[in-house]
Amino acid sequence: MTGNHAGSAIACAILTIAAFAQTQPAGSRSQISGTVTNAGTSIPQLSLKSDQGADVAITITDRTIILRIPPGETDARKGARIALSDVTAGDRAVIVGPAPADPKTWVATAVLVMTRSDVASLRQKDQEDWKKRGITGMVTAVDPAAGTVAIRGGQHSYIVRPSDKTAYLRYSLDSPRFADARPSTFAEIKTGDQMRVLGNKTEDGATIQAEKIVFGSFRQIAATITSVNPQAGELSVKDLATKKPLTMTVDSNSTMKRLPEQAARTLARRYAPGVQPAGAGNGSGDVSQMLDNLPAMPLSELKPGDAIMVSTTQGSTPGRVTAIMLLAGVEPLLTASSTATRDILSGWSIGGAADTGQ
């Protein structure tokens, strides 16, 4: 899964805009965020593609405050005043204004803008930071008394230690996109959740001092394909654990790879029962990096009878899920280990290294 995501610093800025909105007059505290698609100067109006995918018309009045938010700044009140003519397509914007009768037509009290170039810069910095300090794993235990979470990624286990400054987001049931995640809390973390953590490790590498935590409930499935519909972007599969059929949507956000036969046999030996966990230089990070480096596989390469490992959304419609990460060529792994699906997919970053938020 990959998404159209900017840096998670933008999310932090957007979250603090609520505080800015509280300084606005009563009745002007609703807000909507998205990407500018057109900025009119002859007609004082902005066109916005909201984060929910709707096309929204924003009316600008002579009382509208337009502020540019500097890169990395999370306090909207520190923005610099700009003119409507300074806003261009591709900029990120948050609109503050009265709750509209028609959700596709807003009158702006304030417009907070992050330029397209600033968004790109933040995205690059954020991705680099997640590559260096990010860990993905499955939650194996939650200790509310200690305020810690245990996660397992591949063959490595970690203790996640948040602070009162840690930012939490939870993925939605139907989307692995960071942009669709909502603000959350430690109390919502559950055993079995997939988690991404950004933070520094302790000297022994066993504990992560968490700065950002993104988590959600996903499914990890070993299945065989019963039919492929490339036109509809769908797979019909049989879940090998439950023996039940599933319809699986594959879209532009789905990541699909195929393990070469030799790599599959090597991993099968590594994950076979009785094999000791790999060392720090030969563990889940190496496997995740190897999977990320494999070329993308088109849906047309899959055929009935193929065995696959898949991370999917939970899905709000019974029997229908969306593929996040799909790995083919896994027959040796499924034969060698009953836990291979969990072990491999729990260490493979949701969306790969680039999925670091918006």
Residue 173 has a pLDDT of 81
Per DSSP, the three-state class of 90 is coil
Angle between helix axes 116-133 and 8-21 (nearest 10 degrees) is 120
Written as one letter, the residue type at 169 is L
What pLDDT is stored for residue 274 in this prediction?
Answer: 67
Residues 92-107: tens digit of each pLDDT: 999 999 989 898 999 9
CA–CA separation, 292 and 29 (whole Å): 42
- Mean pLDDT value of segment 238-248: 94
Q: Note the pLDDT of residue 181.
A: 83
pLDDT at residue 275, rounded to an integer: 65
Each residue's pLDDT tens digit, 111-140: 999 999 988 888 888 888 988 999 888 899
DSSP code, position 273: T
Q: State residue 222's pLDDT score.
A: 95
Of 68-72, 170-174, 178-182, 228-232, the range with the highest mean pLDDT is: 228-232
Residue 176 to residue 81: CA distance in whole angstroms: 35
Q: Residue 5: pLDDT above 50?
A: no
Question: What is the pLDDT at residue 344?
Answer: 83
Half-sphere exposure of 167 (CA within 13 A, CB side): 19
The helix, strand and coil proportions of the chain, stated in percent and rounded to the nearest 5, come to: 25, 40, 35
User: Model confidence at 338, in pLDDT bands (50, 70, 90)?
Assistant: confident
* pLDDT (0 to 100) of residue 223: 96
Q: Where are the domains of the chain?
A: 8-114, 133-218, 219-346
What's residue 278's pLDDT?
45
**Residue 86 to residue 79: CA distance in whole angstroms:** 14
DSSP E strand stretches across the chain = 30-40, 45-50, 55-68, 80-81, 92-97, 105-114, 134-143, 148-153, 156-170, 182-183, 194-201, 207-216, 218-229, 234-239, 245-249, 255-258, 307-313, 320-328
Q: In the predicted model, is pLDDT for residue 15 greater than 70?
A: no
**What was the pLDDT predicted at 289?**
80
Average pLDDT, the chain: 84
Cα separation, 160 vs 303, whole angstroms: 40
- pLDDT at residue 193 tops 80: yes
Averaged pLDDT for residues 36-63: 88
Q: Is the pLDDT of residue 283 over 60?
A: no
What is the per-residue burial (b if ≥16 Cβ within 10 Å, else e) of 71-87?
A: bebbebeebeeeeeeeb
Give the CATH number of domain 219-346; options: 3.90.580.10, 2.40.50.320, 3.40.50.300, 3.60.9.10: 2.40.50.320
Residues 153-172 pLDDT 10s:
877 899 999 999 999 999 88
Q: 266 or 176: whose pLDDT is higher?
A: 266
| pLDDT over 70 at 356, yes or no | no
pLDDT tens column, 20-37: 544 555 554 688 989 999
Q: Do domains 8-114 and 133-218 have the same CATH topology?
A: yes
Q: What is the pLDDT of residue 2?
A: 36
Element housing 123 (H / E): helix 116-133
Question: In terms of pLDDT, which residue wins out, 351 or 59?
Answer: 59
Q: Which CATH superfamily is domain 8-114 in?
A: Nucleic acid-binding proteins (2.40.50.140)
Query: What is the torsional sign of CA 308, 309, 313, 315?
Result: positive
CATH class of the domain defined by 133-218: mainly beta
